[in-house]
Structure 1
Amino acid sequence: MAEIGANIATTCAERLVDLGMKELPYLCCYNSYVEGFEREKGRLSAEVESMRKEIEEAKTRNETEVDPVVQHWLEEGDGIIHKDSKPKKWFGFCVNCFSQYSRAKELESAKKEIQTLIRQRKNFPQVAHLVGAPGMAYHSQEFLHFESRALKFERLKAEIKDEHNHMIGLQGMGGTGKTTMAKEVGQQVESKPFDKVIFTNVSTPVDEKRIRDDVAKQLGLQLEEEKKLTHAQQIWTKIANAGRVLIILDDVWEKLNLESIGIQPGFHRKGTCNILLTTRNENVCTQMDCQKRKIIHLDALPEKDALNLFLFHAIEIGQDCPDDLKKVALDIVNECGRLPVIIVAVAKTLRDWPIKEWQDSLIALRNTEPSRHKIVDEVAMRFYNSLKLSYTSLKDRKAQVLFLLCSIFPKAYEIPVELLSKIAIGIGLFGEVDKYNIARSQVNVVKNKLINSSLLLKAGKECVKMHDVIHEVALEIANNEIEVIEDSKKKLKENMKYSSCIIDDFSNCFDGRQLEVLLIWINKIGSLKVPSEFFRSMKSLKVLLLFSKIEFGRTSALSLPKSIQSLKNIKTLSLTNWELGDISVLENLQMLETLELFNCLIIELPNGVSELKTLRYLGLVHCSIERNNPFEVITRCSQLEELYYVLNEDHMLEDEEVSQITSLPEYQRYHIDGGDFSYFYSPRLDISIKKSFKPDKLQFIFSKELMKSLATRAEILKLKEDVETGQNSLIPGIVSIEHGAMCDLIKLSLTSWSEIKCLVLAENLQLKSGVNIFSKLLELQLNEVTIREICCGRYPDGFLKQLEKLELRHCRMMEARNIKDQLLFSAEMHIKGRGIINRGESG
């Protein structure tokens, strides 16, 4: 037995010696591992730089969507390039031998990863792809086919399909339905015979830059600032290689210089470019070289179609209309000029009203009344009277004021509902509402009422706009209270209540004592002087929005003029694309409720902002902040209800000695995103999301308890890089289960977490009945996370029951079998390529 024991001991000793000899180089030859790693890192750095140049070249071909595999390769490469080869310190003084040994092993492993990445680099067939551009479905709206217009509709479609017809005109007075017909025809010919159909609103005055940007967007073209080709040439190059293209130019008021936009009708190398323009003026068709027989005229509807359109919107579907009601309805549509846009608005106003009120409305329509412009044209008077009836019949002062507020924007302007809310809240339209988000919800209710009345139209995502005829009538109804100046050479009138203007500079001071709302778009590029007296007379101003129209960068205003402190009643202040510097003058605006800075440069967020007792909304989005920690001021704004701190360039937060923030108010809404600032990226906030937390570089200035609080309440949560929590689970290790853990979370993304073993450690939770975890989660993204299981233990109530998308990248510890076991709760889930799992899609 003793001999057997001796043999075992000898064998173990030999194995230990062999193991020691293998591991000894990591300790003794540490410097050689460092040198080898740095050498390979240099090679990888060159490959990453080469890849980025390929991506930039792809952009010139309009291939702007980077392949996900390539994007991940870049992220992995950047991660290794930024890896530090120095060993950790022991108590901050001497090198720990064990740490040096451990780091040498890490560097050897990283060196092998680099070699693998360099091999992968050679196997990418394509670095980027064309981005899909929005089609005519984006512009679609309700279209009713009228018997009287069937021949004109088919003729228009046939003329458009003829490749020799390069310029076609659709002419008719305002409100006849030109835009609606053009959109419907465009939608029907979009896939055949045309390869691409583009719709853009022209309006007046003509803004060529906006039109170019709109056309480029629909072509999927990213306009580049380069000397070789102008933006117009880039657009034409794209059109010339896009096959058959139809461009619909809507609401043209004057002859356009198509060449300066980038449009050249006719045959080109790989197809044709055809133009359909809609206009009120037949002379425009002639000036734009539309042949006489290629101009299609759209008149008012005949009585039969006009009556049917009215009854379609005024009578509940399936109900008969008595003859006496039809007779009144026929008189009403004749008073509306038999114009579709007017008929629909009036019909929705009178929907399901008794015949007595229809008769009273008819009397009101026939009772012509003078307007501020003393309309003498009979058709224009009918416009006015019909829409004034719809406006008056709202019987809701808030809806009427919101309707008029929409008219202060330029024609065809797509108005973000969130911006409309800030203006409405600023003028106190909803009184002294306790909560900002409650006031916003009331704006949405009233906005929907206006849409349902056809006084407003839906436009884009979370936007509305006015039909140009309704816009004109709204300004008439406002009766000397609203002025919209779209020509920078005109001066602002005095004694207006609401004004908006496009100007080149602030040289024209005026008496604005009656002004409550002022919207200014600045065309100036470069530095701009704001006269110190410009705002001096605006004692009643409640809302001020200053937009610089500069495409990239900011317009320099040196600093806000001292006269802005005279705005004692200002409640909403929004500044976009300004180089401001010192903004300490804002400390004097004691009535301020909403402060929004978008793409602005400031020296610091002034301490006095925390003393603004009425401030409820603070937005710092895509701004450069040169000194001090803005969160030291924000944390003292105890009255704040909503905070938007997104993608800012905050220099002081890069300092390792910046003080840590331990608490913030419990906001009703917050969007906190510490991602990197980029001059070429303008973030758009999704206002449908109440709470979004993506701390990134900000996570190191937030205490663990504050991180926990913000993460627990978020609807969107994105955590990147190792956070030294010492916890092996997200719940309950990092996020509390009190009041339902992450019960509102709809999107979760975790990247590079080496400590975490599972998302939910359910076996250690004392889960009460009704406590939900991830019950609303729609998307789950895990990238380089060492989890083995999504949930350890019994599933909580409603766990992942609404999950639609699961994306796993480089989660090597989680085997495919484990994934399937974790997803047994949903038979509709199927594995899709590249680790993406979508509900209802086959693999």
Structure 2
Amino acid sequence: MELLNSIVGIVLAPLFSFVKRQMTYSFKAGDNVKDLQNAHQRLLDMKDDVKEDIERAERNGKIRTHQVQRWLDEVETTKTQLDAILEKYTPRCLCFNRFSLNCCSNYTIGKTAAELLRDVQRLLNDERRNEVAKPSVPPPVPKLPVPTKSTSNPNLKKTLRYIKEDQVGMIGIWGMGGVGKTHLLEQIHDTFIGDSAFDFMIFVTASQSCTTETIQKQIVEILHLQQHEDVSRQAEIIFNFLRNQSFLMLLDDLWGRLDLLDVGIPFPLGIVGEHKRKVVLTTRSIAICGQMDVRKKIKVECLNDDDAWRLFLEKVGEETIRSHPRISSLAKDVVKELRGLPLALVITGRAMCEKKDPGEWEDAINLLKKSRLDEVEDQEESTFHRLKFSYDKLKSNTLRECFLSCSMWPEDYWISKVELIECWMGLGLIKEFDYISDAYNNGHTQIGYLTRACLLEESERIVTTRLLRKSERIVPIVRMHDVLRDMALWITHDEGKNNKNKWMVFKHETPRDQQIWSKAERITLMQSNIKALPPIATTPCSSKLTTLMLSGNRSLRELGDNFGALVALTYLDLSKCGFIHFPKEICGLVQLRYLNLSHNEMPSLPEELGSLVNLKFLILRNTGIHIIPQGVIAKLKSLQVLDLFQNWIIGGLAELASTWLEELECLYDLKGLGIWVQGKSQFDKLIELFNVSVRWLGISNLENSTSFSLSTSFLGDKQIQGNLAELCFAKSNVTQYIVIEGNNDQQPTWEFPALENLDIYKMHCLEEILWKGVLPNKLFTALRFLNVVDCDMLKSVSWILHLPCLMTLVVNNCSSMRELIAYTVEKEQEKEITSTTTFPHLRNIILSRLPEMVSICHSAFALPELHNISVIECPKLKKLPFRPGNIPSKLRSIKSSRGIWKGLEWEDSSVKTSLRPFYKNVNWVYARLHF
């Protein structure tokens, strides 16, 4: 029995103890909560003391330890748990008379409080709180990850798989603006360069104002087809060309249904016999995919946290992230605020790449968070708020105004850099200048700021100049991403709240509200296909309109009777319209400071033009003007820029110009002149104008002369040299030599630091350009574009070797030219040439109609920056300047006929194999290149 009692005692004692302890939780719930509150208050006091110690250490350049940070995090967790207990605990839980109703609640509270009390007491005794800080020198860490270019993008892989599937003809890529749809399309384009799966790749941009005609024009240019004004006839031409071809059409930024058959794209799509027909489109709306009968849809999402961080890190740079211990965590907060939008990550990352003070990052985070206060449910608007951060970070209000002004051009419009800079001058965004070159330099600086901030993107386009009808010129251009453009217009409307009529931008439409002429400050109707302005319902006293842009309306031939009521106008752009006479309504706008009527066929200027006494910029390029009334120019006392370049080569002002050229001396503020002088009499007259700074100059028909010297003519004047940006020699049939002279020590006392464009045109007797006492690199330090056209006797242009900044070379219709660089080299000299003689910046070589051309240059010469080379109608050309080891890494295309390509000779067969992916067959008489 005693044994039995002992066994019972051993078994039941722990059970009784456990039951007693559990019952105690119910009866002592209040005591446990009170003890917990007291202990937790001591813990909070201790936490405050620890944080003070940490802050003191950080002020002395130290950083907190991981141990103390974890201790602080655990203390914060206990506070959350205590708050949960107190929320459930009420005085009635202590009432024994109501125990039967609340015992379960008391038990839970009592037990939870007791357990938490033990955790609090553990933290009170934890030694981690004493190790608050350590020296700030970080330990060695592995290199931060940077994303690499590959086809690992799942969307790219999926799209490529769909393209290869026979049954899939139409693929739709959709997602919000700025998410990377266009970038994905460009990756697809790059993937299929040189791929024999398709005969042609067609990359066209639709945009919001897309029409069948605009799409056709892009396709015609890409495929080099015959142009036709009738849409149906143009569709037939495109269809007949593509119906027996394999093609991949990349259609970017579609906003509405587009009937591809109306454009000329053959159906059905997919695999038709032996031909592949594929279309990949991008759009912001999945509804457009349905309207376009898309077979496969791919949604492009914002980046996940890891990918967003990697992209942001790539743009910010490892050096900035490591510049301070706190920046890494702050940068992650910035990334979190940007919500994975690639465009925002890139723009903000680049804006922060030089910010190495944590305070700057905290300020950035505060700006991003504040923008959320104005956020609306539309996701597009949240994008504006985040993108506006980069706008806010621009260094000046002037730069911000420069950015906003770009929104006045149509969507997806590529703006010539020169055109944009001249706009900024006219709007007063480029301040007063002593030299015209200073103004353009400042404009290029502003563009540089905006492109580096990813607010503008740069490119180049090829245009056929009016003067050089057989040649083409590379024009640097910029454009604004459509999301950024929408954001800019949103900003001009006070972020969508007020002043919605402040800036009015119309797309392919005319304003219906006649009151806009009295409400708006700026209006643009560029390329809107208007034939007449809508009625102007305003009076001179009510007009607020200061800026009106009507460029590109070829059918616009008159301005209307009430146009003179817009008396507040200071900026008026009527370039590329259809005016056949100077619109005299302009002459009453006495506040006008900027007037552009370029590319309008107007024979004369009216006498009334002299009333525009405040006019500072008069741009009349390519207008065909050959009548200027005497005294008109002299009245324009405020003129700073007068551009009449490329007019007189068309018509003749030989005697008349001698009369009005004298009037230029009355214009004391004239800092930039564009002029074409014909004949010796005009040239001599121009020489006498010592106070006139020439910016754009053409010289032609210099009779009775066998040579022309830059240094001994008026071009030797310092003022001319410092500002001259464009120079053209043309149609001087008896000129045998252009002599460029310097002193004997090859250190000229004069140079052309602003000259970027040099054209030599129809110099039929020109055999050689002589350099006496000076090398080209000492004279033409900034020359970027060289055009040599219709120079029948010229055999080479070897001197281009010495042009340090040459980017584009065009040689056309030079019947005697055998090689660009007449330079013979022995084997032992090749190593020296490769290391010392290169074209450091040459990107584009365009050669056409050179019947005697046998080589471009020796393959020992390096072309490290070469992007594109085109050879058209050069039947004797046998060698390209490439060999193993010197193929340019940036090469994009080699364009020629199939006959020329097959007839080329190679030093090594591996060179042909390496170049084959870049070759593009062209079978037209004269190639219009599209890089």
What's the CA shift for 1:167?
A: 0.8
Alignment correspondent of 1:182 = 185
2:346 aligns with one of 341, 344, 347: 344
CA distance in 2, matches of 1:312, 1:813: 49
Equivalent residue letter for 2:453? S
Alignment correspondent of 2:615 = 615
- Secondary structure of residue in 2 paired with 1:357: helix
Alignment correspondent of 2:479 = 465
- Secondary structure of residue in 1 paired with 2:507: strand
Alignment correspondent of 2:852 = 834
TM-score by length of 1: 0.65
Alignment correspondent of 1:23 = none
Alignment correspondent of 2:641 = 642
Instruction: Report if the CA contact (8 A) 1:592-1:615 is conserved.
Output: yes
2:545 aligns with one of 537, 541, 546: 541
What's the CA shift for 1:644?
A: 2.5
Equivalent residue letter for 1:398? T
Alignment correspondent of 1:556 = 557
Alignment correspondent of 2:227 = 223
- Between the two proteins, the alignment pairs up a number of residues equal to 647
- Superimposed CA distance per residue, residues 306-331 of structure 1 (whole angstroms, 9 cap, x where no aligned partner): 11111111134596477743333233
What's the CA shift for 1:748?
A: 5.6
2:303 aligns with one of 301, 304, 314: 301
- Superimposed CA distance per residue, residues 471-510 of structure 1 (whole angstroms, 9 cap, x where no aligned partner): 3333333344889xxxxxxxxx986222211365576411
What's the CA shift for 1:420?
A: 3.4
What's the CA shift for 1:719?
A: 4.8
Change (3 A) 1:801 1:654: closer
Equivalent residue letter for 2:593? E
Write out aligned runs for 1:401-800 (5 A): 401-432=401-432, 438-460=438-460, 461-480=475-494, 496-502=501-507, 504=509, 508-521=513-526, 523=528, 528=532, 531=535, 533=537, 536=540, 539-547=543-551, 549-550=553-554, 554-557=555-558, 560-564=560-564, 566-579=566-579, 581=581, 583-602=583-602, 604-623=604-623, 628-629=627-628, 633-634=632-633, 637=636, 639-646=638-645, 648=647, 653=652, 660-663=659-662, 664=664, 668-672=671-675, 693=676, 695=677, 698-699=678-679, 702=682, 704-706=684-686, 719-721=699-701, 723-724=702-703, 726-731=704-709, 735-736=713-714, 738-739=716-717, 749-751=729-731, 753-754=733-734, 756=735, 758-760=737-739, 770-771=748-749, 781=760, 785-786=764-765, 790-791=769-770, 795-798=772-775
Change (3 A) 1:784 1:459: closer
Query: Identity of paired residues, percent?
Result: 21
CA distance in 1, matches of 2:414, 2:741: 48
Alignment correspondent of 1:327 = 329
Structure 1's unaligned 5+ residue stretches are: 1-142, 484-492, 673-692
CA distance in 2, matches of 1:239, 1:482: 46
1:171 aligns with one of 159, 171, 174: 174
2:212 aligns with one of 196, 201, 208: 208
Change (3 A) 1:223 1:370: farther
Change (3 A) 1:509 1:779: closer
Change (3 A) 1:249 1:568: same
Instruction: Report if the CA contact (8 A) 2:510-2:530 is conserved.
Output: no
Change (3 A) 1:321 1:498: same
- Secondary structure of residue in 1 paired with 2:207: coil
Change (3 A) 1:185 1:426: same
Change (3 A) 1:345 1:638: same
What's the CA shift for 1:567?
A: 1.6
CA distance in 2, matches of 1:367, 1:170: 33
Instruction: Report if the CA contact (8 A) 1:622-1:647 is conserved.
Output: yes
Change (3 A) 1:523 1:303: closer
Equivalent residue letter for 1:387? L
What's the CA shift for 1:596?
A: 1.0
CA distance in 2, matches of 1:328, 1:657: 69
Alignment correspondent of 1:33 = none
Equivalent residue letter for 2:578? W
1:263 aligns with one of 256, 262, 265: 265
Instruction: Report if the CA contact (8 A) 1:628-1:652 is conserved.
Output: no
Change (3 A) 1:232 1:397: same
- Superimposed CA distance per residue, residues 183-242 of structure 1 (whole angstroms, 9 cap, x where no aligned partner): 012111022033322222222243332222122222223413479x6122222233335x
Alignment correspondent of 2:154 = 151
- Superimposed CA distance per residue, residues 710-749 of structure 1 (whole angstroms, 9 cap, x where no aligned partner): 9x9878866555x44x444223898357447996698664
- Secondary structure of residue in 1 paired with 2:525: strand
CA distance in 2, matches of 1:335, 1:246: 38
Change (3 A) 1:317 1:370: closer
Instruction: Report if the CA contact (8 A) 2:212-2:258 is conserved.
Output: no
- Secondary structure of residue in 2 paired with 1:585: helix
- Secondary structure of residue in 2 paired with 1:290: coil
CA distance in 2, matches of 1:176, 1:240: 34
Change (3 A) 1:548 1:737: closer
CA distance in 2, matches of 1:519, 1:645: 25
CA distance in 1, matches of 2:569, 2:787: 48
Which stretch shows the higher mean deviation, 322-331 or 348-357? 322-331
What's the CA shift for 1:768?
A: 11
1:357 aligns with one of 354, 360, 372: 360
CA distance in 2, matches of 1:778, 1:447: 20
CA distance in 2, matches of 1:476, 1:720: 50
CA distance in 2, matches of 1:272, 1:802: 54
CA distance in 2, matches of 1:829, 1:322: 42
Instruction: Report if the CA contact (8 A) 2:237-2:264 is conserved.
Output: yes
Instruction: Report if the CA contact (8 A) 2:672-2:693 is conserved.
Output: no
Change (3 A) 1:582 1:809: closer
- Superimposed CA distance per residue, residues 762-809 of structure 1 (whole angstroms, 9 cap, x where no aligned partner): 79x999973468998997858565567654xx9223268789887885
Change (3 A) 1:708 1:780: farther
Change (3 A) 1:653 1:341: same
Equivalent residue letter for 1:730? F
Instruction: Report if the CA contact (8 A) 2:407-2:480 is conserved.
Output: yes
CA distance in 1, matches of 2:416, 2:265: 29
Which stretch shows the higher mean deviation, 203-212 or 563-572? 563-572
Instruction: Report if the CA contact (8 A) 2:606-2:628 is conserved.
Output: no
Alignment correspondent of 2:71 = none
CA distance in 2, matches of 1:785, 1:515: 54
Change (3 A) 1:636 1:753: farther
- Secondary structure of residue in 1 paired with 2:642: strand
CA distance in 2, matches of 1:624, 1:773: 32
- Secondary structure of residue in 2 paired with 1:462: strand
What's the CA shift for 1:283?
A: 2.8
TM-score by length of 2: 0.59
Structure 2's unaligned 5+ residue stretches are: 1-145, 461-474, 781-785, 799-815, 826-832, 840-846, 861-878, 880-931
- Superimposed CA distance per residue, residues 246-278 of structure 1 (whole angstroms, 9 cap, x where no aligned partner): 111112233221122222352568833310111
CA distance in 1, matches of 2:159, 2:304: 19
Change (3 A) 1:457 1:733: closer
* Higher-Rg member (1/2): 2
Instruction: Report if the CA contact (8 A) 2:347-2:454 is conserved.
Output: yes
